[in-house]
Amino acid sequence: MATLPILDQHDLFAQRLVADHQKLRRASLHTVQLNLGKMCNLACHHCHVEAGPSRREIMTWATIERILDWVDRHRDKIHIDTIDLTGGAPELNPHFRKVVENFRSRGLHVLDRCNLTILLEPGYQDLADFLAGHGVEIVASLPCYLEENVDAQRGDGVFEGSIAALQKLNHIGYGQPDSHLRLDLVFNPVGYGLPPAQQPLEADYQRELAERFGITFNRLWTITNMPIKRFEHALRRDGQYDHYMSTLVEAHNPDNVDSVMCRNLVSIGWEGSVYDCDFNQMLQMPISSGNSISGNSESRNFGPGDDEHVVERNSCKLWQYTPEGLVGRNVRTGTHCFGCTAGAGSSCMGALS
């Protein structure tokens, strides 16, 4: 396979799709992913959101109500079944519990992308019981089963807190063999390589966590680090950006294109703007600018060079779309998309193949 010129500023992923006679369109819409805000109690080195304690972007209840209304009007037509709550730490949104209650009362499956340590913070110690009481699936980040690797990526003491949180979740039923309370863990590489094969790594996690800490869980998802935001800064700082991009491009597997998450998901920003995926959201790449629906010929596509607050404020909101405006639509791509198709592939739900 020929290597593409990684310093080219054009969309190399789109070029590869054309060369392979492939198209990337949203085929269905089963999952609505909500970024409830960028505030987080951690500031992980690999974070593609650049979340942290100083961030103040938070989805308001007024925005959430409009999303609820849109889901109520269209869910049966397009078979929405899952609400994926992310952040930052989504639990830091002051309306988090109300969000969970409202979507669960509608019979929708709810995922909470949890950093684990939030469950130990003052004021949040009862959160695990709340999540269990509402049958929320927990997707928990644990980039390694070794303390030194986790703390190197996420901060001193995070591994110890994560283990304590996992033991707490196990105690109330999460991740147990006969329980309906699902607990999945997320691995992402600590260094600058691709994830190893998901299945054998899952077996390693199960063995190590069980033997050393008595922890059980359902599945391990392996996710490639995306070369954007904080992780991109680290790559450039260490002179590894070009090498990492070459690795992604050369490991591209065309078979993964049919399974990428953007084919059945949309990502919603904190003010309600719509993106093809969480990564596009962080790169200021909404599916349409604010003028596109009205047909203004001067509308333009926002991108990585634009201010994220301007983009989020001025882009089209979920409630401006009909299902027909989202399903069947071409997905916006960029060179970062190779992160989803490299090797075994990567999505919010782990490896693709």
For residue 263, the SS3 value is helix
Domain assignment of residue 176, yes or no:
yes
User: What pLDDT sits at residue 325?
Assistant: 93
Are 225 and 339 contacting, i.e. CB atoms less than 8 angstroms apart?
A: yes
**Distance set, CA 133 to CA 55, 58, 129, 146, 180 (Å):** 29, 25, 6, 31, 11
In a domain, 6, yes or no: no
Q: Are 101 and 110 in contact (CB under 8 A)?
A: no
In a domain, residue 188? The reply is yes
CA distance 58 to 115: 17
CA–CA dist 45, 238 (Å, integer):
13
Q: pTM (2 decimals)?
A: 0.92
Alpha-carbon torsion (49, 54, 56, 58), positive or negative: positive
Question: Would you say residue 272 lies in a domain?
Answer: yes
**What is the predicted pLDDT for the residue at 188?**
87
What pLDDT is stored for residue 294 in this prediction?
45
CATH code, domain carrying 285: 3.20.20.70
Q: Which segments of the chain have a pLDDT < 50? A: 1-9, 292, 294-299
In a domain, residue 303? The reply is: yes
pLDDT, residue 153, reads 77
In a domain, 351, yes or no: no
pLDDT in tens, 219-251: 999 999 999 988 899 999 999 999 999 999 999
Count other Cβ atoms within 10 Å, centred on residue 167. Answer: 13
Domain extent at residue 279? 12-341
Strand-pairing partners, residue 86, are 35
Q: What is the DSSP string of 96-108?
A: HHHHHHHHHHTT-
Structural domains counted in the chain = 1
Domain assignment present for residue 352? The answer is no
Alpha carbon distance 345, 353 (integer Å): 6
23 inside domain: yes
pLDDT of residue 298: 37
